[in-house]
Structure 1
């Protein structure tokens, strides 16, 4: 859309005029005079990009969707992260990008008594905060957006950030149902102003972030199920960012493989699809000149970026029902898998689809085996997403073998990494930085042993 391109140009101009690397925490990008109608599509696109660029590449190597074959990705393959070249850009993309812009939208919307805009922004703020906390653990939040008033914001504990995520989503749901002086329309490039779908997305994200905490909260599955009752009810309702409105707007994975083709598909993932005779393989994987890279469903020039989808929700429902001892897990699993296969393949025959569900999405009564079946399908649905690595860390599935030569001072013991290290700029310029940078095996709050 033209509006989206104008918003990106305006914000890019502001950022180029103001941004200094050492000021990551004070967020110098201060578009106070830009209206929320321009800021909103910018925040949406930046969110989609953050969820499908370098963070997803690193998480994909750790979760064995990808194998690093060149440049920095080859180092990541050995479980080494560079605090400058790997971490600085990702951290800045979150804080100088959507987190800062969304905070401005929330403040401007509340001042203008426009809770519909605030509600949408809070959904996206919760998503970005939850993702960042799942990568680094403790992160700045409550003091992170004070401009020049605080160059060294304190780190909120991961537990507190997750509480904030749930609170933001609850506030968003309330805001979206309130009277508002202004409501999103065409500037909402995800749902085109459908506030009911934003409320469903908020409930779906509540379920996701409850399920992140299953090691800490025995009631998390029940809480997730309660949220799911008001979340997506059909495949077309998912939170998905569409590309391809103009020739200048290209899918992030398409750009990645065009400009920096440093990863290929891990043999583990490719072999799993072959073992399952999975009809999604051609959508997942593109073969060219003997190489396997991300397929067109995710990496075509105009492919959409999945953020929180109906298939994910239904398979999480199946997991939650198993953990809570409730019935209906198989029906939820099969609905999620069916919807995802139809999305990725563009549609296959009912006979072929039923045969796949019978073979790979049927629960036989054995608790561990049933959970493994559900989580295997969740692993497939989360291909290209940070959530695939999160699933491994919170559940132990799939049962991955660590990459060889992964033992080093940054990753003692050589196991699959449990977290990101913090960026160099934080260590050098934030006086509230932790006493030392954690290693990749240091577990944070929700990843308790």
Structure 2
């Protein structure tokens, strides 16, 4: 009965949240509802609402900004025309900023909670999850408001913090969260249990997730730290903590997922199938698909990499990521902006209207650890072993038969460890294959950081010589926080020319 009540409150909070359209960066649209509610009630919605943006909009954008997804031009007129022309404006995917900035206010509400009782587990988890989303805000926008966020009427016009300082503050807060969870009085601490729709109150897993986020941030900062003395001192100290005995990360069988009780009804489906799958009650019915399903398929570049055309190695993940459309006899791709009809999204991506949403997959975490060992950031572990474990985890998650793939691909340039001169190329290319459709925004950021996969084609219809490397501050900021955002003087070219601080290559 308690679980049913909590889920009912969650669904009400979610519906209320999405009814608020005009969002200032410092407004918490849930404030009237949650102001006096305890963390047990706030937490499910605080986790679920930003996750919907991450799983659907951010995932989709990243797949379109890299050569993962193309459009079905045979059934949809000019699919993804704005994306493939790189028409980046202050309105382009502005809901990413608006939703992450505002909706994480519920996490801040929990962090600042002063209800009676020991809520250290709730607060620690909220610090970790807020850091997860704010890292993406930095990685996509650069400088952002942070130290003055979520103060509502006390400060409607938050100033911007430098992206480097936000990164360091987030890592410090992750450390604080780990300490809070690890050192609280376990006898008095209120268990999150089913109020935690991500990890069901598994605080050891929250710590592993925290360490993995921290490692990702250190890996991204690592090159920048070689040129900045303050960052170098900070990064070196944090690397030492990551190498302490007993420090654990997300690993095989340890996907970080979310599922508050998704249902096969309108407005309650899992975010990915709701956007890229089927209408409620029609899962698997090819005649009642969403626009995202009808419009979306793989690129020729991806298909040829996986079907053996490029590498001479057949990758069975292809037939899990994508499925035949119409009268096709094999998986087909299209160029971005081309006139063809690509295959549709497959069962490895679309399994159920109730499917878990992925926040961080085990394979992503393992690829990250492989890179960290390869670069000497982590001083224990085997980089190749972690790399191949990540690939195995990818096949398992997608339901693909790995067969002899590890052996057959090992000596192949670009996708195999032994055959690739720059091991980073193999790591990032395999990560791109693995996360295509699952965490597209990560693949776009990683391409910006590393330049891999190499030789990735641009869309047919863009006039730009290179991919965008960031997003522009949204219209809502120029309307609601004008004095603080205007000095950046962004133009369309900013999205292609002004790097995020860690992009030093």
1:31-430 to structure 2, matched below 5 A, reads 31-68=34-71, 73-84=80-91, 86-97=92-103, 99-108=104-113, 112-177=117-182, 178-179=184-185, 180-218=188-226, 227=242, 230-232=247-249, 234-242=251-259, 245-248=262-265, 249-257=268-276, 258=278, 259-261=290-292, 262-275=295-308, 276-289=313-326, 291-300=342-351, 301-324=353-376, 328-345=382-399, 348=401, 351-356=403-408, 358=410, 362-364=416-418, 367-368=421-422, 370-384=423-437, 385=439, 386-399=441-454, 400-407=456-463, 413-430=464-481
- Using the TM superposition, name which of 178-187 and 107-116 deviates more: 107-116
CA pair 4-135 structure 1, distance change in 2 beyond 3 A: farther
Q: Residues of 1 paired with 2:88 and 2:179: CA distance?
A: 40
Matched, 1:448 2:455: no
**Residue deviations 1:171-198, cap 9 Å, x none?**
1111111125412011112211111111
Q: Residues of 1 paired with 2:364 and 2:29: CA distance?
A: 36
Q: SS at 2:222's partner residue?
A: coil
Structure 2: stretches of 5+ with no match in the other structure:
227-231, 279-289, 329-341
Tell which structure's C-alpha radius of gyration is larger. 2
Q: SS at 2:64's partner residue?
A: helix
- Using the TM superposition, name which of 414-423 and 394-403 deviates more: 394-403
- Using the TM superposition, name which of 254-263 and 115-124 deviates more: 254-263
Q: Is the 8 A contact 2:144 2:161 kept in 1?
A: yes
Q: Residues of 1 paired with 2:116 and 2:78: CA distance?
A: 47
Q: CA RMSD in A?
A: 2.8
Q: Residues of 2 paired with 1:109 and 1:394: CA distance?
A: 40
Q: Is the 8 A contact 2:67 2:457 kept in 1?
A: no
Q: Is the 8 A contact 2:68 2:302 kept in 1?
A: yes
Shift of 1:102: 0.5
Q: Residues of 2 paired with 1:253 and 1:363: CA distance?
A: 32
Q: Residues of 2 paired with 1:45 and 1:77: CA distance?
A: 30
Shift of 1:111: 6.7
Q: Residues of 2 paired with 1:67 and 1:234: CA distance?
A: 31
Count residues in correspondence.
Answer: 438
Q: Residues of 1 paired with 2:163 and 2:350: CA distance?
A: 32
CA pair 189-22 structure 1, distance change in 2 beyond 3 A: closer
Shift of 1:12: 4.0
Aligned partner of 2:283 in structure 1 is none
CA pair 34-155 structure 1, distance change in 2 beyond 3 A: same
Q: Residues of 2 paired with 1:298 and 1:231: CA distance?
A: 28
Structure 1: stretches of 5+ with no match in the other structure:
408-412
CA pair 308-140 structure 1, distance change in 2 beyond 3 A: same
Q: SS at 1:201's partner residue?
A: helix
CA pair 298-110 structure 1, distance change in 2 beyond 3 A: farther
Q: Residues of 1 paired with 2:387 and 2:47: CA distance?
A: 29
**Residue deviations 1:241-280, cap 9 Å, x none?**
2476533442222111243324322222222111241121
